[in-house]
Amino acid sequence: MFNVKKETKKLLILFIFNEIKSFKDVFLTKINSYDTIYIVAFCVILSMIYKKIIERNTNMDKEEVITKICDSGVVAVVRAENAEQAIKIAEACIEGGVPAIELTFTVPGAHHVIEELAKRYTSEQIILGAGTVMDSETARISILSGAQYVVSPYFNLDMVKLCNRYRVACMPGAMTINEVVEAMEAGADVVKLFPGETSGPKMIKAIKGPIPYAKVMPTGGVDVDNVAEWICAGAVAVGAGSALTAGAQTGDYAAITVMGREFIKRIREARGL
């Protein structure tokens, strides 16, 4: 006698492991007219769930991640007092046209926030990264939580190696040309110029003089009034923190959305778009 529970479990296992031929064999030879409706309904629901899981967890190639960040031109550096505030900031940024979110590990339970954002948004809606990553262990945690790129305030060789091992985009920090070259030689996809306010846009010009192919993203000291100067100096994108997200301090998340749109507008203007 056909055991519905037993056979549906078998179908589930075959489906998960993509054993399509076996799936068809089981379906066509073992079910009878009384069980057909149950099995078909189950498989339809299962396929819908499976499709959603795939959509949510499909990671872009790191080259595509970097391209999207550069096209956007701005990464929202999210610092918050708690997870709820961090998520609200991220949502406000996305609504303002800033999909690149760098969720920093100064946020309590940061990896859980990354997991939550990865569940709420598809890779078409968000470019989700982890920031203030100080070591390879934290980098791995962030990647497993759903981070598509990893940002650090300094150059850590082990962290860069780990990101390259798993083909996840990596942006270590640097302040000097020597550090920039070391990061590039190690395999950094983009070098984060940090803190940007100590050198200004002229540092980007100084770097790109002898190293025109360097991809540099300044963070710190970037705001809507000088973002065009950074872009014109050669920055592939900018990291914007409090200049973008200050509204969160007073609960004015709408102000973040407005500021995000202004950042995007000025970056496009600077690029002649």
Q: In the structure encoding, which two tokens stand for residue 223, read together? A: 């705001």
Pick the catalytic residue: 68, 91, 102, 215? 102
Pick the catalytic residue: 192, 202, 215, 229? 192
Strand 127-131 with 100-104, pairing: parallel
Is 95 among the residues known to form the active site? no
Q: In the structure encoding, which two tokens stand for residue 80, read together? A: 């918050």
Of 271, 265, 191, whose CA–CA distance to 224 is shortest?
265
Q: Looking at 32-143, which runs of residues are DSSP E strands?
A: 74-78, 100-104, 127-131
Of 50, 40, 52, whose CA–CA distance to 13 is shortest?
50
Is 116 among the residues known to form the active site? no
Cis peptide bond upstream of 99, omega within 30: no
Cβ count within 10 A of residue 73: 25
- Active-site positions read 102, 192
